[in-house]
Structure 1
């Protein structure tokens, strides 16, 4: 994301790694469309983009109806995707700022400043989480490099910069503790192969791409010590909604005695929901599974089950890492202790 005061520039992640193409967005409706269409994805990045969308709404609003138009833009952005709580967290922060503004000119400046602050705070949170996770993992590493497995994309492309789970991977690499990253391809949008493998290759971090179905064989062979993933929503008891396939990885990890870490900023934590059963799970249309970039892979009329996320029970997690601290063996008491 590149903020240009009058516009927001978004790297079109649908085209990576074949093409690096930036889109210039000048209004909130355009930002909402980019979120729906997966131009920008990843819970923190969605929230940041939406915040910039609110700032653009103020800039394009009518002088007489500016407050009403900005509220309409917030509603439109909120409807763009249902699962990632960072979206609603960021919009609530922007709404609070809006209520303090007495003129359109004031709203333009104050909302832009808040959006930039949300962006900067996310980057700072990523760096803090990476440090906390490194300290936690180094205690058991005895100075010996080890390999990890990750799912989907949780790097700079999905955040304000550096990354959540991939931020931890980067920090392990910098500390000389990373042997290799196994990256699930992550069907059906292939974020692991198109985005994670691309990001890590850009930074010369050793990465091996694998089909999602190969994760069990990798764990069985003793190739990895940790599975590290991000999150789109974490509930009060520590249940985690993340990219579809995460739940299966957690089951595999528990069976193979591989430890499981979730890395996400506190804006991903939703203490208003008691458990993962209350999380709204987005389901997208079947063409995403039947085709890849227009190439048909399945019979055109076959029914498709295409949830974007699944819910991993807290009982399968070893630790949740946020910028506020860690919750080991997460449960309701541990989450409440950190997120009162």
Structure 2
């Protein structure tokens, strides 16, 4: 069973909708869900990275407002006119958008949901309740669509790797040949509504009996790879190995053609193909090019921002120095037992007083990317350039 980072229950005849998120700050040692009852709680959860991953951020924000509206409707606190509800939705979406500026999926969701509310308010005979309901239905649809999009991304990516890499072609003809994939950060069920983008490609390769081993990087300083991706790989019983970020070059040199591809996610893909993703992605792309390993970005079309010309226009979030100078986790006994029931310990690992630079993301230039895997297919460069326009003409 695939992990669920987002648990949403639609409204029933007797109760409003409810939303719970898996608190990813507690993983991998504790699995605990936290209720999200309003936009303030969602904003805080996104800002604190209790929920993370571009698709999941957008969905949690959208559903949190759906819950807030649903509760207001049940308790009689909903605005009385359709225009007032539309304006309230617009303002609350703008507030939610400030929680994570780099993730384009959130901005995309905000724009689309504003249009839904506006159209509903302009309908003949519109009421406050009908506008609220139109918003709730659209937000719930995002949750369903994300899962199906992720599975399509996984299938397209797995097929591309099978057909376009030496390891893929060898594995197709001889099941004794190895096919390995390296991924960075977390792009699985914990970062989406389910299945995942880059990790979805790994899941699809495993399902097709193509994958022999997955590698995941630690992903310092927040350790999304060691805490979250490793957690998912173990949960799904995928043959997998954890490495530190600085071991990637040695791994590529050692494995040669057995390592078919590096597959990563994205927080934003610019119109020219430059891609913002978790810090450390750019260095992996450079290593891949040097070693002749395919470098792929797996992302839904909502992550591709045609209004952003290039990576130079992407705002990079900088985070607290303490994420670099400290680590947090449960104590381990001398016998190796993890004390999961005790309070987590915070440990200092750096010299007091040292300056810290802690960008959350970096930008990988388009020229280092071999393909962008979307839910409608893999986009490759033509004459050295990406053209994403055709995939937006593709039916959803």
Q: Give TM-score scaled by structure 1 length.
A: 0.96
Determine if contact 2:104/2:305 at 8 Å carries over to the other structure: yes
Q: 1:26 aligns with which of 18, 32, 37?
A: 37
> Does residue 335 in structure 1 map to residue 388 in structure 2?
yes
User: Following the alignment from structure 2 to structure 1, what is the Cα–Cα distance between the partners of residues 199 and 151?
Assistant: 11
- The corresponding residue for 2:312 is 277
User: Following the alignment from structure 1 to structure 2, what is the Cα–Cα distance between the partners of residues 68 and 108?
Assistant: 11
Cα shift at 1:109:
2.0
User: Following the alignment from structure 2 to structure 1, what is the Cα–Cα distance between the partners of residues 98 and 38?
Assistant: 16
Determine if contact 1:241/1:309 at 8 Å carries over to the other structure: yes
- The corresponding residue for 1:308 is 360
> Does residue 2 in structure 1 map to residue 55 in structure 2?
no
Q: 1:288 aligns with which of 323, 333, 340?
A: 323
Cα shift at 1:135:
1.6
Q: Give 5+ residue unaligned stretches, structure 2.
A: 1-5, 11-16, 329-345
> Does residue 298 in structure 1 map to residue 340 in structure 2?
no
> Does residue 107 in structure 1 map to residue 134 in structure 2?
no
User: Following the alignment from structure 1 to structure 2, what is the Cα–Cα distance between the partners of residues 4 and 170?
Assistant: 26
Cα shift at 1:332:
4.6
User: Following the alignment from structure 1 to structure 2, what is the Cα–Cα distance between the partners of residues 226 and 37?
Assistant: 32
Q: Give TM-score scaled by structure 2 length.
A: 0.83
> Does residue 80 in structure 1 map to residue 80 in structure 2?
no
Q: 1:148 aligns with which of 181, 184, 197?
A: 181
- The corresponding residue for 1:231 is 266
User: Following the alignment from structure 1 to structure 2, what is the Cα–Cα distance between the partners of residues 63 and 240?
Assistant: 41
User: Following the alignment from structure 1 to structure 2, what is the Cα–Cα distance between the partners of residues 292 and 131?
Assistant: 37
Aligned ranges 1:175-190 → 2 under 5 Å: 175-190=208-223
User: Following the alignment from structure 1 to structure 2, what is the Cα–Cα distance between the partners of residues 333 and 128?
Assistant: 21
User: Following the alignment from structure 1 to structure 2, what is the Cα–Cα distance between the partners of residues 197 and 84?
Assistant: 23
Shift in alpha-carbon separation, 1:190–1:106, aligned structure 2, 3 A? same
- The corresponding residue for 2:229 is 196
Cα shift at 1:108:
3.1
User: Following the alignment from structure 2 to structure 1, what is the Cα–Cα distance between the partners of residues 68 and 131?
Assistant: 10
> Does residue 132 in structure 1 map to residue 156 in structure 2?
yes
Determine if contact 1:228/1:260 at 8 Å carries over to the other structure: yes
Q: Provide the secondary structure at the position in 1 that maps to 2:255.
A: coil
Determine if contact 1:266/1:322 at 8 Å carries over to the other structure: yes
Q: Provide the secondary structure at the position in 1 that maps to 2:107.
A: helix
Aligned residues: 340
Determine if contact 1:57/1:70 at 8 Å carries over to the other structure: no
Aligned ranges 1:314-325 → 2 under 5 Å: 314-325=366-377
Q: 1:71 aligns with which of 83, 90, 94?
A: 90
Shift in alpha-carbon separation, 1:289–1:333, aligned structure 2, 3 A? closer
User: Following the alignment from structure 1 to structure 2, what is the Cα–Cα distance between the partners of residues 24 and 104?
Assistant: 26
Determine if contact 1:27/1:56 at 8 Å carries over to the other structure: yes
Determine if contact 2:379/2:386 at 8 Å carries over to the other structure: no
Q: 1:122 aligns with which of 126, 135, 146?
A: 146
RMSD, aligned CA = 1.6
Q: 2:284 aligns with which of 249, 257, 273?
A: 249
User: Following the alignment from structure 1 to structure 2, what is the Cα–Cα distance between the partners of residues 283 and 335?
Assistant: 29
Following TM superposition, where does structure 1 have runs of at least 4 consecutive aligned residues deviating by more than 6 angstroms? none
Decide which structure has the larger Cα Rg and report it: 2
User: Following the alignment from structure 2 to structure 1, what is the Cα–Cα distance between the partners of residues 49 and 128?
Assistant: 31
